[in-house]
Chains A and B, each alone.
Chain A
Amino acid sequence: MSAQNRHRAPLDESPIVRWLLIGSALGFLFLFVLLPLLTVFIEGLRGGLARYWASVSEPDALAAVKLTVIAAAIAVPCNLVFGLAASWAIAKFEFVGKNVLITLIDLPFSVSPVIAGLIYVLLFGAQGLLGPRLSQHNIQIVFAVPGIVLATIFVTFPFVARELIPLMQEQGTEDEEAARSLGANGWQTFFRVTLPNIRWALLYGVLLCNARAMGEFGAVSVVSGHIRGLTNTMPLHVEILYNEYNFVAAFAVASVLAFLALVTLIIKSILEWRHGGEISAARA
Chain B
Amino acid sequence: MNSLPLVSEVSRAAVAIPAARFSLVKRSVLPGFGISLGFTLFYLGVIVLIPLAAMGVKASGLSWEEFVKATFSNRALAAYRLSFGAALLAAAINAVFGLITAWVLVRYDFPFKRVVDAMVDLPFALPTAVAGIALAAIYAPNGWIGQLAAPLGWKIAFTPWGVVVALTFIGLPFVVRTVQPVLQDLSRDVEEAAASLGATRWQTFRRVIMPAIAPSLMTGYALAFARGLGEYGSVIFIAGNLPMISEIAPLLIIGKLEQYDYAGAAAIGMVMLAIAFLILLGINLLQRWARVRGGEG
Interface positions of A (Cβ within 8 A of B): 8-13, 18, 21-22, 24-26, 28-29, 31-37, 39-40, 43, 78, 81-82, 85-86, 88-90, 92-96, 101, 103-105, 107-108, 110-115, 118-123, 125, 127-129, 150, 153-154, 157, 173, 176-178, 180-181, 183, 185-186, 189-190, 208, 211, 214-218, 221-222, 234-236, 238-239, 242, 247, 250-251, 254, 257-258, 261-262, 264-266, 268-269, 273, 283-284
Contact = CB atoms under 8 A, between A and B. Distances in A.
Given A32-B172, A95-B24, A222-B257, A129 B30 contact: no
Given A119-B51, A120-B51, A254-B130, A39 B137 contact: yes
Contacts, number: 309
Question: Which 3 interchain pairs have the tightest Cβ spacing?
Answer: A112-B230, A215-B127, A217-B233
B47 A242 contact: no
Interface in B121-142: 121-131, 133-135, 137-138
B226 to A, nearest CB: 6
Interface residues of B, number: 103
A211 B125 contact: yes
21 contacts: A21-B103, A25-B97, A37-B134, A93-B26, A94-B25, A101-B40, A101-B44, A107-B52, A118-B253, A121-B265, A122-B51, A129-B58, A154-B47, A176-B30, A215-B126, A218-B231, A251-B134, A251-B137, A254-B130, A268-B121, A269-B114
A9 B184 CA distance: 22
Given A108-B48, A181-B4, A217-B232, A82 B196 contact: no
B200 interface: yes
B133 to A, nearest CB: 5
B268 to A, nearest CB: 9
Contacts of A261: 122, 125-127, 130
Contact of A122 (B54, B100, B250): B54
Contact of A218 (B51, B250, B279): B250
Given A33-B119, A33-B120, A112 B31 contact: no
